[in-house]
Amino acid sequence: MIKVLHSCDLNLGAEMLYPQAVCDRLSQAQLSVLDTILDLATEHGVDLLVFTGNLFAHHAPEEALREAVIHRFKALPAAIRLVVLAGCYDQPLGPDSIYHHADFSPWFVDSARANGSPLNVKDGHCPVWLYTLPWQCDAGDGALGFMQRNREKGIHLGAFHSHKLKHRPNPYQDPLAHWTKAITSWQLDYVMVGNRRAGQLSNDDGQPIADCPGAPQGLSFQEPAQRYCSLVELGEAQTTCQALPCQHLRFEQCNLVLDGHGAEEKLHKILSEKASDELALQLKLHGDIEELFDVEAIAQRHRDEFVFLTMVDETHFLNSDYMTQMAQEETVRGILCRRLVEMAVDAGENQRAVYERAVRELLHRFHAVAGEAE
Amino acid sequence: MILRSLELSRFGRFSDKSFEFRRGMNLVVGPNEAGKSTMMASIAAVLFGVGDKQRYQPWGGQQACQASLQFESQQRNIKVARNILTDQVDLFQYDGMYQPIDHFSAVTAVNSHSETHQQYATLLRNLLGISDEALFRATQFVAQGEFPTTATEFERFLRTILSGFTQGDSEMVLRSLHDDFAAVTSDNPWSPVAVSPRELEVVREALQDCDQRQRHNDELLASLDTVRQEIASLKLELGEDKLQLEEGRHYVTWIQQLWAQEEGALPVSEAIVEENSDEEERGVAEPTEKQQLEAQLKGAGIPIPVPEGLPRLLAQADDVRHQMIALQSEMIPYRDRLQKMKHPDWKRPLLVTLCLAIMALLVNAFVPQQLLIACGLAVAGSLSLWGWYARQWRKVSRSCHGLQEKLAALELKREQEQQQLTALDDEFEAFGVASSAVELVRIQKAFDLHREALQRWVVLDGMEDEPAVVAATQDDSIPEQTACTETSPASHHLKPEELPEALAKLDALDESIRLREADLLGLVRQEAILLGRLADAEVDARRRHHLEQRLVELEQKKQVLSCAIEVLQDSLDEFNSSSLRCFENRIAKYLRKATQGRYSAIALEQNFSARLKSRNGQWVALEQLSRGTMDAVCLAIRLGLSHFLVPSLSLPFFLDDALINLDGDRLHESVTVLERLSADHQIILFSHDERLHKIAARRRWHVIPLSERRSRSVARSKEGAEDGGQLSFL
């Protein structure tokens, strides 16, 4: 019986395209998530803690970050065996790789150094073996030599980072899509997979044979769901896998329909209701509005209430009464409103979106948007 | 339409005051701080509300600050009342006899987005023609210093007012759009001037670089895969060869010992007995492991001993099966296409032919003289239709035939493969192995999985029986090796004269292993180099992702800006070509009146520069006009625009000390112009100018005096401070 906690793709020190304050919050959150994972490992008394790749987002992260992580790892109870694998970002090549640092040598597992033989994680009556893949190894025949179970006795675990296989399509973004066959053929008891996205593979009895918990902290709006790390208990006959929540900041995408008048007030109300300092929110605005509003100004007003706030304006204004009335004027603005309304009638969805943005662009420049005239 | 009255209740300095106005010229006169500007501001405040609610609230007053306007026309009278603090608006409509027609009541704050505000704005537009405060101020209101003094100012004023956006000038907007567009891309369809690459082009180039690097990385990855496969197969090969070399050397040592024993007069039989006894001892020690291995291998479904040629047969069967699957996959699309092919429908041409025949019969019945033509047309139509039908039929038939031929060829190949498979199945059965595909795949997999165990079993088996003869040729198949060992008879032992040859072969194998080990080292180095080169691949991928995102944004921005520029440019063109002439006519009407026919027409160019047509038919540029004439033109334009926007109504015109800076002559000129215009529009002047007061008295205008003493008796308001500012300005 062995208890294993595994996680991956924490991407410490990742470069992000957010404003600096948001980047700082996210970096803090990443370290807090690492703390949570280490606390969970201690709390559940695991035998083995595995980071299956991309613990760092760069092969040579900043010294302060490196020291912070080393300090945390050193504080782990001695009973917990820590294993760190390289991912696609924190690749182990080059003399400046963090994994060449002396402090990391007890934890980092380099398949090339181990000459492909599995790592003996635990001795005794029921030994535990850990098989790992070399960096950038494909799912094909090459993997077999490193991952094939080579004896009956003991518990045989596999761990690798499932990098993107560019020449193979993966429309559902399933991290195990191209590895399922290989994993099954390895005949290991349980395989820990690293990838930003989550996925699980079970045998015919419904027992998990491979699991990828995904990144424990979302870093973009493409990662909106709750994030986990995986706690696995492997016995002689049974394997149980439990997802433990560990994320600190939440990314959420919302669709908001704003129809008719008072859209701006409604938007303010929704934003006030959703305000949370642990939430990064992306609002997609839809609906037929009657007055234009400055989305950026509204976002600016509520920005401090969220970790990050962004809004995508997909509302329709060309159908509004305002446009219809203005189109009756015999002024330049009257004519241009008339033209845009007419052009939008038979336009496709994409072209219509262009007209919608064009009318906003024009009205903003003429300072005709509500609230700007003052 | 005229403004009949203005009532102010606790509005600024007016505690409770009502003012009456008349048609024609009206002058509200009073010293500074008397409340003229407050009065004028109250008009817009009633109609549109005010943002700063406290501005007109008297000091210390807690009661409602209210104002109301009453407009009068021949058909309809309108009263608008607003509580400035609460923005409660009441709009009453009466008929010509002051009988109520309608009443609208709502709370509509300034810049409100509510539905009621929209209703109110619609009412204002229908009744007064204007619902836009900015536009109202730009046309009906003239404050101090608002008359343009230069031609450039005049053009700008004209562009702004005609664009409809009173805060923006259409040309400036167009220029800003062009500037932004040029910042995105150098691709400018409106200008032939070439500029250096902009952000879009830079991003595109960077993406092309990324593509190149991506291709390079893909090639490196492919090479890495190949190198890794080579390393794996070489390692396997070397492992087997090393084992064979070791066995061969062991055998040579053993056979040399045997010969030495023979030469030492030991009877061969004894030596063999001794050797056998040794073997027996070993056999006693080792059967447990061998038995275990046998059990393991049998358990895995591998026949022990392994029949010679079984691995070869397995490989052949696998090849044939793959070939058959490939053929099957190739046939599927052909079959689908064949099924989807349909011959054209014969019923439709037949129906059309019948219709044509019926038509010919009808022609015969009703217009017999046209029968020949009708028959000719019917026959021609039918023939062309059936001709088309025959062509379609032939085309489909040819395609079907082609597909069937291809399918038949593939089917033939498949049958050949099937026959080969049947022959192989017979051979399998001869070995006592079930020939089902599942069983064969299972055995093949078992071979792969238990390679190590088999190897060990071969060694043990060889030691138990007799050392195997080292094969002259290198055979890398373990099962075959096993078979070879199994079938080697004792008489095949090495003879002393064959020893040099065997040793030479062993040396050659040793040399070959050494060379391949060097190759392996080279491949491992190559792998390390490739990995090193791939180290930056992910950084490239991330950069590429960012660039792609930026490219999409820039493309969208380019599209939007291009669309905005085109729409605005087209709108300006349309305005210039259609509405501008109409506008010119409206202005000309007021211009003639204002200048007593000195100037009869105005020509506005596309850039809004203006010229006036003088009495002698010459066109005069604005720069050549006197300031007095310029003021008259400006008034004419405001009134012209007002009439242009609201053609059905002649709205009142408000001037707040607009003439204060004019000298005596120019003041007289402007007043005369206003008097002429007052025939169509009610004019309400707010002024503290004594000169104007005298003119008003002389010309019998309606004068509303605002007393300084009275105004001082009411509570001072914050507005007073502003009027104070106006005093210092004067």
Summarize pLDDT for B500-523 with one digit per residue, the tens: 888 898 999 999 998 988 888 888
Residue B578 DSSP symbol:
I
B625/B644 Cα distance (integer angstroms): 25
Task: Give the containing element (helix H, strand E) for B38.
Answer: helix B36-48
Q: Which residues contact B687 (CB under 8 A, 6 or more apart)?
A: B27, B28, B29, B36, B655, B657, B659, B660, B693
| Local confidence band at B706 (pLDDT 50, 70, 90 cut-offs) | confident
Q: What is the pLDDT of residues B69-120, one digit of tens each?
A: 999 887 789 999 999 888 899 999 998 788 888 999 998 877 666 778 878 8
DSSP B363: H
Give residue B435's pLDDT: 66
Given a contact cutoff of 8 angstroms between Cβ atoms, the answer to whether A173 and A157 are in contact is no
Tell me whether residues A141 and B229 touch, CB distance under 8 A. yes
CA of A160 vs chain B CAs: smallest distance (Å): 17
Task: Tell me the C-alpha distance between B450 and B446, whole Å.
Answer: 6
Confidence tier at B693 by pLDDT (50, 70, 90): confident
> What pLDDT was estimated at residue A341?
92
pLDDT at A212: 94
Percent of chain A with pLDDT over 90: 49
| Residue B57 confidence (pLDDT) above 70 | yes
Token pair recorded at residue B279: 């073997």
Q: Write down the pLDDT at residue A172.
A: 65
| Closest chain B residue to the Cα of A343, Cα to Cα | B567
CA-nearest of B652, B659, B642 to B682 is: B652
Q: Is the pLDDT of residue B165 over 80?
A: no
Amino acid at B246: E
Q: What is the pLDDT of residue B495?
A: 81
Residues from chain A contacting residue B567 (CB–CB below 8 Å)? 336, 339-340, 343, 358, 362
Is the torsion defined by CA of A9, A14, A18, A23 positive or negative?
A: positive
Question: What pLDDT was estimated at residue B206?
Answer: 92
Residue B61 vs residue B550, higher pLDDT: B550
Q: Which residue has the higher pLDDT, A91 or A359?
A: A359
Q: What is the mean pLDDT of chain B?
A: 78
pLDDT score recorded for residue B484: 39
Cα dihedral across residues B133, B135, B140, B146: positive or negative:
positive
B709 pLDDT higher than 50: no
Q: Which chain B residues are within 8 Å of A151, Cβ to Cβ?
A: none
- CA of B205: how far to CAs of A251, B201, B210, B218, B550, in Å? 33, 6, 9, 20, 13
Contact A340 B176 (CB under 8 A): no
Q: Cβ B113–A366 below 8 Å, yes or no?
A: no
Is B225–A142 a contact, with Cβ atoms under 8 angstroms apart? Answer: yes
Preferred mutation among B122, B233, B538, B604 to probe A, highest tally of A CBs within 10 A: B538
> pLDDT tens for residues A221-269?
888 888 999 999 998 778 899 999 998 999 999 999 988 888 888 899 9
Q: Which residue of B has its CA nearest to A332?
A: B163
Chain A residues inside the 8 Å CB shell of B572: 332
Side-chain-facing half-sphere of A316: CA atoms under 13 Å: 16
Choose among B168, B228, B532: nearest Cβ to A366: B168
Name which of B171, B280, B449 is nearest A332 in CA terms: B171
Highest mean pLDDT of the ranges A354-358, B516-520, B611-615, B721-725: A354-358
Query: Measured between beta carbons, which residues in chain B are less than 8 angstroms from residue A357?
Result: 556, 560
* Burial (0-12, 13-18, 19+ Cβ within 10 Å), B729: exposed
The model's confidence at residue A276, banded by pLDDT at 50, 70 and 90, is: very high
Which of A324, A261, A259 is closest to B111 using CA atoms? A261
3-state secondary structure of B321: helix
Best of B442, B571, B574 to disrupt the A interface (most A CBs within 10 Å) is B571
In which element (H, E) is residue A114 found?
none
* A370 → closest Cβ in B113, B218, B567: B113
Nearest residue on chain A to B51, alpha-carbon basis: A374
Does position A153 have pLDDT exceeding 60, yes or no?
yes
Q: Is the pLDDT of residue B193 over 70?
A: no
A309: left (phi over 0), alpha (psi -120 to 50) or beta: beta
